Amino acid sequence: EEVSLVPFITTIIEDFSLLNEANSVTIEWVAEEREMKVSFDAFLMTTVLLNILENAVKYGKDVVRISVNVIEDKQNYHISITDNGLGISPKEQERIFDKFYRVQTGNIHQVKGLGLGLYYAWQVIKAHQGELGVTSTLTEGTTFTITLPKR
Ligand code: ATP
Ligand code: MG
């Protein structure tokens, strides 16, 4: 379905912020005025964004800062979600999209999860002819970037 990207992301961030009211989570999101229409399954895309946001809190430090940005080029929209969390080593970055894969270090043992969130996110983005990328620095934080074709 045709979705207007900025209001779509704004709603998800508002809902996510309500869910995390009790925690120390700050989300920086500057909603642009420009209309950005894109075609995707809104339910599936919501689960993708919520898992990435949820991960930023689960694998974050005591004070979580997340920043969300959308930029566009000729062909694509790029949604990036940056956190100030534990980070992911280059070796682990290759595996986090694998089914059931979870990083076995530090305090992550105590954080529950199935290791399915990013696997499904990858599948959903692929099914929309998009790309899901990660860049990260250990102890500093991680950026996930969702690229979606405009048409
Ligand atoms: P689920 O999402 O199925 O509840 P999960 O969060 O463990 O479980 P994924 O979302 O697929 O699974 O993430 C896979 C692994 O990647 C996580 O277990 C964690 O080790 C690592 N990871 C994911 N996001 C981050 C992040 N923002 N910062 C640091 N590590 C991360
Ligand atoms: Mg997850």
Q: How confident is the model at residue 56 (pLDDT cuts 50, 70, 90)?
A: very high
Residue 59 Cα to ligand 2 middle (Å): 9
Which ligand 1 atom is at minimum distance from the Cα of 85?
28
pLDDT at 58 over 80: yes
The enclosing H or E element of 150 equals none
* Average model confidence (pLDDT) across the chain: 94
pLDDT value for 107: 60
The binding-site residues of ligand 1, defined as CB within 6 angstroms of any ligand atom, are: 51, 55-56, 58-59, 83, 85-86, 88, 96, 101-103, 108, 113-119, 142
Kindly report the CA angle at 22 between 21 and 25, in degrees rounded to 5?
A: 60
The pTM assigned to this predicted structure is: 0.96
pLDDT value for 108: 54
The SS3 of residue 32 is coil
* Residue closest by Cα to atom 27 of ligand 1: 56
Residue environment code for 81-105, b if the CB has 16+ CB neighbours within 10 A, otherwise e: bbbbbbbbeeebbeebbeeeebbee
Q: Which of 96, 110, 138 for a ligand 1 pocket mutation test, highest count of atoms within 8 Å of Cβ?
A: 96
pLDDT value for 23: 83
In tens, the pLDDT along 95-106 reads 999 999 999 875
pLDDT value for 110: 78
In tens, the pLDDT along 14-37 reads 999 999 988 899 999 998 899 999
* Residue closest by Cα to atom 20 of ligand 1: 103
